Amino acid sequence: MRISRMRERNGFFMKKRIGGLLVAIAVLLAAAGCKEGASVPESSGMEKGMPSPVSSVQPDYQDGTLTYSNLAGDQSRREVEEILLAAGIPEKYVDMLFLWVNDFNQCMSKCETFHLIDGFVTEDIPVVDYGDYYPMSTTWFKTNQRKYGDVLCRIAAFLLMQDQITAKALIEEELWECWQDTQWLCSDNDAISNNPLIDFDQKQQSLYYTVYNPVTITPGCPAEEMAACISEEWQRRGISFAEGRVSLITIWTQYEAQTAAAHAAVLVQDGDAYLLLEKTNPQSPYQATRFSTVEQVKQYMYESIHIEDVRYDMETGTYIVMENDRML
């Protein structure tokens, strides 16, 4: 059984750096004899000792704090659903997203590394630490007997953004960087091909891989050159974004002579504030987070990468954050 990458947002290169641990996980999960069709546990909701809920109306989200929810309760789901629909995202996509959210929350509610947050809470942290990959992977594959990976961040973001993106020069299927385990988007292909809740047709997949296929760069190039390479390549692919209240947020990392979107999220303007919606990693929670400014969103994206680098004793390389087709 093929295991998804250790942490999706660090991209393909993390799998190379911690390949030994991944092999150990694969052996453990294969020995467990995973089978489909297992029952899933009930969602536990908010646990005792967790931060207190905050009002859904909060005019200012301070630097150094995080106001977020894992959409584990009806109120927070309704609130986010209303924001997405009001921003013009089609109802069928919103319904599909919450089908994925509910499936994850039921399946992973008893994972030992995190507690799912019901309503919106505020904590004095720059980013949520959901813990190490190993317990999450064990809960997903072994405890719940899933033979396939869960929805990735890029898949969740694309679901909501797909009608806002146009690509005039689609990449041919054989050139999608997803067919081999050493390619950037191999985990995407695994989830899209095998997860029964993901139903992207050929047209959707062609757009998906045209948007996310990696871009060639000069190894070790600075951020500005990375952004220029992405912009030039997206122009060749004819990629453009509709103007509106919804945008695609991506953070791009380097590996050798390529850069790709190691993490993706959807940003929605909600009055004078912003809502960022993301699947934080393949086997870690969905998260809706409130911000006052786009600059706060940018800083949060950097922090979300940095926490993984610290956890796995990796050197933080060159990253850029993009909103649609422009660097933040």
pLDDT digits (tens, 9 = 90+) for 214-232: 999 999 999 999 999 999 9
Is residue 21 included in any domain, yes or no? yes
Is residue 68 included in any domain, yes or no? yes
The pLDDT tens digits for 13-51 are 444 333 333 333 433 333 333 333 333 333 333 333 444
Is residue 22 included in any domain, yes or no? yes
Measured CA distances, 179 to 186, 187, 193, 288 (Å): 6, 9, 11, 31
What total of structural domains would you count in the chain? Answer: 1
% of the chain surpassing 90 pLDDT: 73
Is residue 305 included in any domain, yes or no? yes
Is residue 173 included in any domain, yes or no? yes
Dist. CA 128–CA 118, nearest whole Å: 15
Rounded mean pLDDT, 152-157: 98
Query: 126: which 2 tokens?
Result: 């720059």
Is residue 323 included in any domain, yes or no? yes
Question: What is the span of the domain harbouring residue 96?
Answer: 8-33+64-327
Is residue 49 included in any domain, yes or no? no
Phi/psi of residue 295, nearest 5 degrees: -60, -35
Instruction: Note the pLDDT of residue 291.
Output: 97
DSSP reduced 3-state for 68 = strand
Alpha helices in 50-152 (DSSP H): 74-86, 91-108, 133-137
Max CA separation in the chain (angstroms): 53
Instruction: Note the pLDDT of residue 316.
Output: 65
Query: 276: which 2 tokens?
Result: 């960022």
Determine whether 93 is exposed, middle or buried from the number of CB atoms within 10 Å of its CB (0-12, 13-18, 19+).
Answer: middle
Is residue 2 included in any domain, yes or no? no
DSSP reduced 3-state for 285 = strand
